[in-house]
Amino acid sequence: QSVLTQPPSVSGAPGQRVTISCTGTSSNIGATYDVHWYQQLPGTAPKLLIYGNNNRPSGVPDRFSGSRSGTSASLAITGLQAEDEADYYCQSYDNSLSGWLFGGGTKLTVL
């Protein structure tokens, strides 16, 4: 079980807004380490989606946004599109493990 907890799945209809949570502890997100998000489309390698809690790399639509508060972080996707159907992972640093870690991943289904 990952130290960063994500819901296994979320779903939404086209055009709707969905959020994916990433819950950590005082040794990772709660220690103010940055949270990053990755999108993994079916059969492809992960791709950086959000870095530094709320920053989008060039080319990532502004429908995607991130936030961090306390020991949790969230990824929000507005105006849901069929092409957003993918697995999403959060990532941060953990000072008790002295290393990087990923959340367990969340599968987004567009209904």
Partner 1 sequence: EVQLEQSGAEVKKPGESLRLSCKVSGYTFINSWIIWVRQVPGRGLEYMGRIDPSDSYTNYSPAFRGHVTISSDKSISTAYLEWRSLKASDTAIYYCAREDMNYFDPWGQGTLVTVSS
- How far apart CA 30 and CA 96 sit, in angstroms, is 12
Sole binder of partner 1 in the list 52, 61, 70, 79 (CB under 8 A): 52
Task: Choose, by CB under 8 A, the member of 20, 24, 33, 66 that binds partner 1.
Answer: 33
Give 13 or 59: the residue with its C-beta nearer to partner 1. Answer: 59
Cβ of residue 89: shortest distance to partner 1, in angstroms? 5
Q: Which two tokens stand for residue 12?
A: 């939404």
- SS3 state at 107: strand
For residues 6 and 18, which CB has a smaller minimum distance to partner 1 in the complex? 6
Q: Give min distance, CB of 7 to partner 1, in A.
A: 13
Site for partner 1 in 83-102 (CB under 8 A): 87, 89, 91, 93, 97-102
Q: In angstroms, how far is CA 47 from the centroid of its own chain?
A: 11
